[in-house]
Amino acid sequence: MTIRSLKNITLGFVLIAACLFPLSSDAQNRGLLVSPKRIVFVKGERLQELRLVNRGDETQKYRISVVNRAMQKNGQLAPADTPAENEFFADKILRYGPRQIDLGPKEAQTVRLMSRMTGNNPDGEYRSHILVQEIPKAKDAASVSEPAPGGLGVNVQAIFGISIPVFFRKGDLSAEVSLSNALITRQNNETYATFDINRSGNKSIFGTAKVFAGEQEIAILKGIAVYLSAPTRTISVKIPDEYAQTIAGKQLRITFGAVQDEEDSPPAETSFVAG
């Protein structure tokens, strides 16, 4: 095919804005609500459910798939082809359906998740992510570049989505946790208590971080996950302005552990002097 024969072709590039952890605000703002935020199969469990709700005002089509992700030190999730040490992907032992749905305004749909774990599977933690993607209508495509004479146009179309981690746990699994490198950081006129969560063992952890000045709790961040693919994750907890102005030179204490029912991290803490 010659360049001349291509001159009237418009190339469509798809940009996927998928939420990895936590939930994507873009997807939620467009009307998609998915719950729960995390699913964990434990010994003997064969079936769980994911609930999707279209909170928008128009009928929308959604595609459901399974993807594998690795957590990086900053907490972002990146596509992964191979699992980390002591970790297994769950895509081979997870069945789910339906795989595509249409939801009218304010309608809800249940997605059934089924375990195919057998006695032959090695002990350990298995993780993959259910990705729920909004399938855009043709009218949603936004042209950002008109084709020049003899050239190529570019049509950019965003696909919004939410991904939910799905865990399967088999055998005697455990984790150890410590905190390190705590300090005060500042960005865009906001103050943060920044520190590393160090995880070891053969189990991911979920917990809540709290910051104390003396006995007073001054900041909190819930629902923090550290997966097996991330032996260390850096966390920043925002310090409210009313405390940020008075903490310089004071000793602060950071705690991390299970606070909410769905959290399971062992406790850890560290102290430091705020700069």
Phi and psi based region of residue 215 (left: phi greater than 0; alpha: psi -120 to 50; beta: remaining): alpha
Phi and psi based region of residue 124 (left: phi greater than 0; alpha: psi -120 to 50; beta: remaining): left
Q: How far is CA 236 from CA 33, 36, 65, 257, in A?
A: 26, 24, 31, 16
Domains for the chain: give ranges and CATH numbers: 14-170 (2.60.40.10), 175-273 (2.60.40.10)
Give 78's Cβ-side CA count (13 Å radius): 11
> pTM surpassing 0.85?
no
Contacts of 16 (CB under 8 A, 6+ apart): 133, 158, 159, 161
How far is 199 from 59, CA to CA, in rounded Å? 43
Contacts of 120 (CB under 8 A, 6+ apart): none
pLDDT per residue, tens digit, the chain (275 aa), is: 444 343 333 333 333 333 333 334 444 446 899 999 999 998 889 999 999 999 999 999 999 999 999 999 999 999 999 999 889 999 999 999 999 999 999 999 999 999 999 999 999 999 999 999 999 876 654 444 555 555 555 555 567 789 999 999 999 999 999 999 999 999 999 999 999 999 999 999 999 999 999 999 999 999 999 999 999 999 999 999 999 999 999 999 999 999 988 899 999 999 999 98
User: Buried b vs exposed e over 234-267: b needs ≥16 C-beta within 10 Å?
Assistant: ebbbebeeebbeebeeeebbbbbbebeeebebbe
